[in-house]
Amino acid sequence: MKFNDPFGRVEHRHQIGYESMRDSMRRAGIDTPQAAREIIKQSKKRALKFLGAGMILLLSVIWLPAIATPMAFALAVLLVIWVVSSTLNGQRYIQRYIDEELE
């Protein structure tokens, strides 16, 4: 029994996410470690582009009335956390795919 995940819910959610990603990689024909590592590089670039676009949008919100600024800041923090978390999980899943299926 784990103290930070006593009922295994998070582990189960990660397993389902990995299986979904693994099936997608197989359908896409990603069958070499080099191709999978290229997907990791692309995901990093995509995440940075998404964060850049989000920050540009946030900077454009600065000209709104002062009452909207805290809400925009909260949304920006949420955006950053979501993008970083999903990118890291995706990279973890792809690395696991490389370790378990391709090598």
pLDDT reading at 1 higher than 60: no
| Residue 44 maps to a domain | yes
pLDDT reading at 95 higher than 90: yes
What is the mean pLDDT of the segment spanning 8-32? 90
Q: Quick check: 17 and 93 in contact, CB under 8 A?
A: yes
| Residue 89 maps to a domain | yes
| Residue 4 maps to a domain | no
pLDDT reading at 30 higher than 60: yes
| Residue 20 maps to a domain | yes
What is the mean pLDDT of the segment spanning 32-56? 91
* Spatial distance between the Cα atoms of 73 and 85, rounded to a whole number of angstroms: 18
pTM: 0.79
Count how many domains the chain has. Answer: 1
